[in-house]
Amino acid sequence: MISTEGAEGGGDQPCFRLEPLNAHLSGKAGETHLLYGDTDATSKVTANCVQDIEDRILRITGYYGYYPGYSSHRREEGSESRADTPGSEASGEGTSYQTCANTVLKVLGGLLLVLCVSSSWVGTTQLVQLTFKSFSCPFFISWFSTNWNILLFPLYYGGHVVTTRDKQTPIQKFRECSKLFGEDGMTLKLFLKRTAPFSILWTLTNYLYLLALRKLTATDVSALYCCHKAFVFLLSWIVLKDRFMGVRIVAAIMAITGIVMMAYADGFHGDSIIGVALAVGSASTSALYKVLFKMFLGSASLGEVAHFLSTMGVFNLIFISFIPLILYFTKVEHWGSLSSLPWGYLCGLAGLWLVFNILVNVGVVLTYPILISIGTLLSVPGNAAVDVLKHEVIFSVVRLAATCIICLGFLLLLLPEEWDSVTLRFLAAFADKKSEEHGEELTESSIHTRSRSRANGTVSIPMA
């Protein structure tokens, strides 16, 4: 067998090496075959000679983009092999196009969801303040809006009927989603035991939020409500023994700093301090609701969440309806006649609140939960734009600084748990890439130096 090797060091011509043939051929016939050979073997040897010579020339001249072993002959062979399989190339291109299309659709869908979440929450907050001008009854508004949660499970079942082939009856779907309460489904005891505390926390969150809107602007209340993310982390760290993260502790400190600055904006007196306390109370009860839900009910599917929220709406209608009546007869909240109520504002407010709840719960299942959080955060600049353009609100420097600090802390809380290791791996990969590029530049410069030296008849060693 005959093989060729190119010299690595200088400009010597390629040499031929005769290997022993004892392992392959024996006798005179073998020697004759070696000496004379056939035309295929001769052409193969010649082709290898040409390839090695061409490789050496390209390497010496420092041709850009050249890698040893990829001569014109091999490129032609590769082009012929690719031309032989046009179907595989077309299928690969089709798969890449489909992947890119799916990614673009997912990104666009996520951005649209963020805008919808932000717009629905801004609309809810602004509509509450419009309603207060003619109907200042926050508990009645909270109770009326919570009753609309009853529609969540029927809407979910309607989507189930439209999107699935194996359709279930409403009773079957209801029993399937009732497994959130236990393997035996929902009983009267479990209905009261599991639904009552969450309904109370839900009502307190909404009621305190509405009371804060009577004292502060929509921008301040929405910014203070974003502190619930920090409270969720602190409660999860203490109660659920979640992983400790220093960056989230920093974010929680920033949220508390923003709260203090917001209260200090008007000198710790008047309606400002009361409004800040109410908004922080709403964020605290919201955080407690989320932590207890994770603690007792765990992760739930979309159907189970719709079932649970509808169950809370039923509980609100049956067991909490006496509170608005008590407030009415004690003249704490005066409604007037039913015909005088601003039903347009009330129904629009309840509808926007329902849309917000649907987007939050559906979005967590369909896309990334971080997008829902970003949509909630974008309600702060959205409310600020409406307050400045429509209500002509002038924000002080302290309030702006407090709002920015709270929003920055909120963004820090969105960092994943493995953000530090991911960042280190990214920096290490980036450094390796830089070192490889630097090594390639040095190799290329040394090749050019050797080629110039050979042209001048001298040898030069570049200094790294």
Query: H/E/C letters for each residue in the chain?
Result: CEEEECCCCCCCCCEEEECCCCCCCCHHHHHHHHHHCCHHHHHHHHHHHHHHHHHHHHHHHCCCCCCCCCCHHHHHHHHHHHHHCHHHHHHHHHHHHHHHHHHHHHHHHHHHHHHHHHHHHHHHHHHHHHHHCCCCCHHHHHHHHHHHHHHHHHHHHHHHHHHCCCCCCHHHHHHHHHHHCCCCCCCHHHHHHHHHHHHHHHHHHHHHHHHHHCCCCHHHHHHHHCCHHHHHHHHHHHCCCCCCCHHHHHHHHHHHHHHHHHHHCCCCCCHHHHHHHHHHHHHHHHHHHHHHHHHHCCCCCHHHHHHHHHHHHHHHHHHCCHHHHHHHHCCCCCCCCHHHCCHHHHHHHHHHHHHHHHHHHHHHHHCCHHHHHHHHHCHHHHHHHHHHHCCCCCCCHHHHHHHHHHHHHHHHHCCCCCHHHHHHHHHHHHHHHHHHHHHHHHHHHHHHHHHHHHHHCCCCCCCC
Residues 230, 285 contacting (CB under 8 angstroms): no
What integer pLDDT is reported at residue 441 of this predicted model? 65
Task: Report if pTM > 0.75.
Answer: no
Tokens found for residue 188: 């009267």
Q: In the predicted model, what is the mean pLDDT of residues 323-352?
A: 91
With cut-offs at 50, 70 and 90, classify the pLDDT of residue 360.
Answer: confident
Q: In the predicted model, what is the mean pLDDT of residues 347-360?
A: 93
Query: In the chain, what are the domain boundaries?
Result: 2-84, 117-415, 436-464
Kindly report, residue by residue over 131-188, the tens digit of the pLDDT.
999 899 999 999 999 999 999 999 999 988 888 888 888 888 988 888 888 777 778 8
What integer pLDDT is reported at residue 38 of this predicted model? 47
Q: What percent of the chain has pLDDT over 70?
A: 72
Evaluate if residue 18 carries a pLDDT over 90. no
Range with the lowest mean pLDDT among 153-162, 380-389, 440-449?
440-449
Q: In the predicted model, what is the mean pLDDT of residues 280-289?
A: 94
User: Mean pLDDT over all residues of the chain?
Assistant: 76
With cut-offs at 50, 70 and 90, classify the pLDDT of residue 93.
Answer: low
What integer pLDDT is reported at residue 378 of this predicted model? 93
Q: Which of 20-24, 76-80, 267-271, 303-307 ranks highest by mean pLDDT?
A: 303-307
Q: In the predicted model, what is the mean pLDDT of residues 304-309?
A: 91
With cut-offs at 50, 70 and 90, classify the pLDDT of residue 350.
Answer: very high
Range with the lowest mean pLDDT among 51-55, 231-235, 363-367?
51-55
Evaluate if residue 197 carries a pLDDT over 50. yes
Rounded Cα gap, residues 255 and 413, in angstroms: 10
Evaluate if residue 451 carries a pLDDT over 60. no
CA atoms within 13 A on the CB side of 55: 21
Range with the lowest mean pLDDT among 25-34, 365-374, 398-407?
25-34
